[in-house]
Amino acid sequence: MADSHRRTSMATELEGTLLISGSLFPYFFLVALEAGGPLRAAALLAAYPLAALLGAAFFSDDLPLLAMTFLSTAGLSAADVAAVARATLPRFFLADLRATAFRAMARHVAGERFVVTRLPRLLAEPFVREFLGDDVIVAGAELRVVGTRLTGTVTSPPGIAGTLVAVLGGRDKIVDVGLCCAGDQPEFLQLCQERRVVSSPEKTPSPATPLPRSEYPKPLVFHDGRLVRRPEPATCLAILLWVPLGVVLSVTRLLLGFLPHGVGLLIAAATGFQIRADLTGAASPATTSRHRRRRGILFACNHQTLMDPVILSTVLRRKVTAVTYSLSSFSELIAPIPTVRLTRDRRRDSSIMEAELTRGDLVVCPEGTTCREAYLLRFSPLFAEIAAGGDVTPTAVRAGGEMFHGSTVRGYKWLDSIFFLMNPSPWYEIRLLAPVATGDGGGGVSSRDVANSVQRMIGDELGFECTGLTRRDKYRMIAGHDGVDARSPASEKRKEDARNA
């Protein structure tokens, strides 16, 4: 009996069983937008209703699918599409993952597991392998590639049964168990000896329950893409109609940063931009140490968007200088506060930051990059070394919007602030915490301990989980590189060290 159980194989359909929704449009739209651009995405949105009508008229599910595949991928680099599948799609897959189906699939670890999908395998496989298991075999259509470009057509047999047959190597290979939902009869079930139902509408009339975040197989820390919400056709149309007004609103909000702080805050609130600040944890001038009075105040904050220092300056109602690594020239131009570029060369950056701190207040983001989820990346201890003998003011920051993310890795970073301010009601929360003494570097608390302490304080205040992940981890996962400009001094030093080694 045990040997038989170990050999048991299981198959399930991705959309409609593992995923609550059977709609494929959102995933094709995300590929068209993130890998192809807004014009391609708009073309897909415009053509989708016609393709759906023709498919219904000819009783064909393949016609809309083939049309979406062609419009979203034709002419694109296979590497770009794969990057979107790895960095953007998993967040939307996870949010739609059916709890009962996932648990049934996760319990079956004794034999082969197959996930069949009407999506091209290139789009579904990164998510399945990352969150369902490296051993899971994905049966999906293969996209035709010429050189490094996709033609928008598929080479595999049509239908999910055909793709499973191709993976199994013939119809004589039978799957033991097929997962499905009550009332559904996916065609791949004809290749399964046993049918197992994972939900029963008769007994549970309430909507299917998505898998809670606490049960994700691994934490979702990093993801890319501009859209916050799942892009169903109606949502996409609403965003498309909003964009012209959003651009005007974004430019207006950008200009508010150059007004006196009190006036800017009032007008920003009138446009729907919500800014909430709690400054009670900050030290008063009377309690500020003599060492720090000789220099500016060093604020160490977690990183949500490029606007973190600007919003901090606004709520403090005074100028603070922000240090940056890879800020675009456009972002520097529109910044209403002073910005100073760092080089990722530790000695040079230390000198730059010390010089700026002697001139006035300085804000640093020790994570080195933004993180959208409720996690804090590892804090670099450099800020604690700069403040040695003085205090650091931990600054907890939260931000968000209902349409667009204000950060990107693979997209145009100079548009980050524009997109964030295009949200109908973007919001920011800033809380200044009690200053942390850094010691004088004479054998007491180390700069690493100070950095960890500041990270924990901010994490506890926000309810975020502290991690040891870094900027390099984020860029390797999303973009496939270290995230360091090849022309930067740090990059040149690494190359020299590699040559010497």
Q: What six digits make up the tokens of 481?
A: 């590189």
Contact 250, 128 (CB under 8 A): no
Position 157 scores a pLDDT of 61
Position 423 scores a pLDDT of 97
Query: How many angstroms separate the Cα of 458 from the Cα of each of 23, 152, 277, 464, 474?
Result: 40, 47, 15, 8, 20
Position 76 scores a pLDDT of 97
Q: Which domains does the chain have, with CATH numbers?
A: 2-215 (3.40.50), 246-500 (no CATH)
Predicted confidence pLDDT, tens digits, the chain (501 residues): 344 445 689 999 999 899 999 899 999 999 999 999 999 999 999 999 999 999 888 777 889 999 999 999 999 999 999 999 999 999 999 999 999 999 999 888 778 899 999 999 999 999 999 999 999 999 999 999 999 999 999 986 656 777 888 888 776 678 999 998 877 778 888 888 888 888 755 455 557 889 999 999 999 999 999 999 999 999 999 999 999 999 999 999 999 888 887 788 888 899 999 999 998 876 544 445 544 456 899 999 999 999 999 999 999 999 999 998 878 888 888 889 999 998 888 899 999 999 999 999 999 999 999 999 999 999 999 999 998 778 899 999 999 999 999 999 988 999 999 999 999 999 999 999 999 988 755 456 789 999 999 999 999 999 999 999 999 999 999 988 887 655 445 454 554 444 444
Return the number of other C-beta atoms located less than 10 Å from residue 442's C-beta: 7
Position 68 scores a pLDDT of 96
Position 5 scores a pLDDT of 46
The pTM of the full predicted model, rounded to 2 decimals, is 0.89
Task: Name the strand (E) or helix (H) holding 250.
Answer: helix 233-256
SS3 assignment, position 450:
helix
Position 290 scores a pLDDT of 47
Contacts 24+ apart (CB under 8 A), 188-193: 188/11, 188/13, 188/116, 188/139, 188/160, 188/161, 188/164, 190/161, 191/11, 191/161, 191/164, 191/165, 192/11
55 φ/ψ angles, rounded to the nearest 5 degrees: -60, -40
> In sequence order, what DSSP letters do the residues of 190-209 get, joined into one string?
GGEEEEEES--TTT--SPPP
Sign of torsion over alpha carbons 75, 81, 83, 88: positive
**Nearest residue to 363 via CA among 328, 318, 329, 416:** 318
464 vs 212: CA distance, rounded Å = 17
Q: What six digits make up the tokens of 298?
A: 């060093």
Contact 193, 5 (CB under 8 A): no
